Structure 1
Amino acid sequence: MVVNEARTEVLPAKKSKTWTKVWSFRHAYLFMLPAFIWYLVFSYYPMYGILIAFKDFKYNLGILGSPWEGLRFFKQFLNDSSFYSVLHNTLSISALKLLFGFPAPLVLALMLNAVMHGKIKRIFQTISYLPHFVSWVVVVTLMQKILSPNVGLVNDIREHMGLKPIFFMGMPSLFYPLVVLSDIWKGIGWGSIIYLAALTNIDPHLYEAADMDGAGRWSKLFKITLPTLTPTIGILLIFSLSGILNAGFDQIWLMQTPATLSVSEILDTYVLKTGLQQGQFAYSTAIGLFKSVISLFLIVIVNKVSKKVSDVSLW
């Protein structure tokens, strides 16, 4: 009886202490409330629609009233003739972006960090950041104007050189290079911000000690700078690998033409066409859910492997 009485006395004290802390931070919670409501309405409530992937959705019956179909639409997608080509295009574009686009911000950050003159460094930083704030609609429009076979600047130069004009945006062989180059141009400056912030945390005494030992610029890069940036590189690599099925919907959708459809049809564009254009909502939802589940498994596996190999992980 004594133990029970002690418990009944301690629990209310703990509870009141917890609510006292909550009340003391009420202004912070009130400040976070709009973000919480936004995520609740636009991120969690729409997850109710996942049920469509397992049902033969009918407008007149609604989501709950539509008959169950189980895994029918998932099997339909796996047996679809477009499955392998769509998956191949998605993985190819993502892999090329990862291969060439992932190290680009790191290289730019190292180059900017090596610039000693502060004014020159700020100018280059500003110039490299600007493309990030330009929408893909504007970027692709500029590409179409510059690379146009009729009035494009590049083809005008080719004609003056005695060469025939080329329809760059309509050539399947040039689609991947244009995608990767435009993606690097747009994101390299913004992506370098994280690396520049990490570079400022490096103790300058390490470089001073290296100078006293006679270390050169390359030696300091590989012995001090890159090892210090390893955790940052590891975290960003985990995010990149886990999102390998996201090839960049906005960019691909705007650059896609009938001539390049064989190499430009990715999961996101395929979902949009089957869902909104063809009205196959259950089928397109199943494809989107398939992609989300694979991405979830990828981030868990990559995080686990990274934690074992380099001791860098998200959790």
Structure 2
Amino acid sequence: MAQVELEGKTEPLSRRGPLRRFLKQWDIQLMVLPAMMFILVFSYVPMYGVLMAFQDYSLFKGFMNSPWVGLKHFEMFFQAPEFWTVIRNTLVISALKLCIGFPAPILLALMLNEVGRRSFKRLIQTISYLPHFLSWVIVSGFVISILSTDNGSLNILLQKLNLIEDPVNFLSEPKYFWSILTLTNVWKEIGFSSIVYLAAIAGINPQLYEAASIDGASRMKQIFTITVPSIMPVVVVFFILAIGNFLNAGFEDILLLAGNPVLRDVSDVIDTYVYRIGIQNSRYSYATAAGLFKSIISVVLLTGANYLARKSGNSLW
């Protein structure tokens, strides 16, 4: 425990007053202040808007004068004809992203850790990192170009291999959309997401590998007995965060890749539904109720995942 000399006595830092601790660490506190202000302004202040979910909100009447209607909009959302379609799409797309997108960067980090040549390792890292820094507008244009029926690379390749006779319009076929969306997300984020796991692997004591080699353990054996258990606390923490964001099936990627109305039955998730109903149709209270429903379920999932992870000794709180 940190201690401070005060009038000839040693006083634990934790027992000092909040103001005195703040003044003692003023330079560090100033570094955190911009991030705290950003979160306050863009995350906490807008929460006042959830009141719209319990009102027949009107732009002209405002929050104070709009009539209160209780749970009316929640009932409308649950009884809407498209409710189960939206929920199904949200759960399926989120599950695909979690089951494929979550372990993918871990596997990439484990493979990169086994690469002996640093130049080749850096090249692979650079190539895999780059898509993360591209906006979804650019990525979606890239994917649409590859899957195009007019000189699209994938259709040309499949025709050259005699796997298809005529070009396939992949982005107009609902049966392909979930696969395209999932693989695009994995390709875009796998490299950047692997950074934290590579950092965790770099912190493993090299003597553990040396001892395992002396005992005759193969490289594969070392991965499963040393590397994976050592990074498991980091994996658990990020898995908890992934569960908390489970219902965030996507917005930009779906909005840009599912431009064809034919795909709405397989692409409409809670976020895109809220955007379409709330912004385009100006049903603010109804859209707020749908978004609040998603947020409440996310909090429950996050709390439940953290409770289960706490039993293993690796939790957020």
- In the TM superposition, residue 245 of structure 1 has moved relative to its aligned partner by 0.4
**In the alignment, which residue of structure 2 is the partner of 1:289?**
292
Q: Which residue of 2 aligns with 1:83?
A: 83
Where does residue 193 of structure 1 map in the other structure? 195
Q: Does 1:119 align with 2:119?
A: yes
1:119-141 CA distance string (max 9 Å, x none): 11111111110010011110110
- In the alignment, residue 243 of structure 1 is paired with which amino acid? N
Distance, in Å, in 2 between the alignment partners of 1:118 and 1:266 is 42
**Cα distance, 1:211–1:159 mapped onto 2, change above 3 Å:** closer
Unaligned runs of 5+ in 1: 1-13
The change in CA–CA distance for 1:279 and 1:212 in structure 2 (over 3 A counts) is: same
When residues 92 and 17 of structure 1 are mapped into structure 2, their CA distance, relative to the original with a 3 A threshold, is closer
Judge conservation of contact 1:158–1:164 (CA < 8 Å) in 2.
no
Structure 1: distance between partners of 2:25 and 2:93: 46
- Residue of structure 1 in register with 2:248 after alignment: 246
Residue 155 of structure 1 aligns with which residue?
Answer: 155
Task: Indicate the residue corresponding to 2:11 in structure 1.
Answer: none
Aligned pairs (5 A) from 1:47-58 = 47-58=47-58
Q: What's the counterpart of residue 99 of structure 2? A: 99
Normalising by structure 2, we get a TM-score of 0.91
Q: Using the TM superposition, give the Cα deviation of residue 93 of structure 1 relative to its aligned residue in structure 2, in angstroms.
A: 0.5
Q: How far does residue 66 in structure 1 lie from its aligned partner after superposition?
A: 0.4
Classify the secondary structure of the residue corresponding to 1:214. Answer: coil
Letter in structure 2 aligned against 1:70 = G
In structure 1, C-alpha distance between the alignment counterparts of 2:216 and 2:285, rounded to whole Å:
66
Hey, what does 1:7 align to over in structure 2?
Answer: none
**1:67-101 per-position Cα deviation (integer Å, ceiling 9, x unaligned):** 10111111111111111110100110010111111
Aligned-residue sequence identity (percent) comes to: 44
Residues 109/84 of structure 1: CA separation in 2 closer, same or farther (3 Å cut): same
**1:166 and 2:168 are equivalent in the alignment:** yes
Q: How does 1:227-306 map to 2 (within 5 A)?
A: 227-256=229-258, 257-306=260-309
Alpha-carbon distance in 2 for matches of 1:262, 1:17 = 58
Alpha carbons of 1:49 and 1:259: their partners in 2 closer, same or farther (altered >3 Å)? Answer: same
Structure-1 residue corresponding to 2:204 = 202
Q: Which amino acid is the alignment partner of residue 193 of structure 1?
A: I
Q: Tell me the equivalent position of 1:3.
A: none
Judged with a 3 Å threshold, the aligned counterparts in structure 2 of structure 1 residues 221 and 32 are, in CA distance, closer, same or farther, namely: closer
Query: How far apart are residue 65 of structure 1 and its match?
Result: 0.8
Aligned residues: 301
In 1: Cα distance, 2:166 partner to 2:71 partner: 52
Deviates more, 1:58-67 or 1:291-300: 58-67
Higher Cα radius of gyration: 1
- Please report how far the alpha carbon of residue 163 of structure 1 lies from its aligned counterpart in structure 2 after TM superposition: 1.3
Report deviation, 1:159: 4.6
* Higher helix residue share: 1
Structure 1 stretch displaced more, 159-168 or 58-67? 159-168
Q: C-alpha deviations, 1:90-116, integer Å up to 9, x for none? A: 110010111111111011101110011
Determine whether 1:42 maps to 2:42: yes
| TM-score normalised by the chain length of structure 1 | 0.91
Counterparts in 2 of 1:294 and 1:37: CA distance versus 1, 3 Å: same
Task: Give the Cα separation in 1 of the matches to 2:103 and 2:21.
Answer: 45
- Secondary structure at 1:30's aligned position in 2? helix
Deviations 1:264-311 (CA, angstroms, capped at 9, x unpaired): 000000000000111100000011111111100110011101112x22
**2:117 & 2:283 partners in 1: Cα distance?**
58
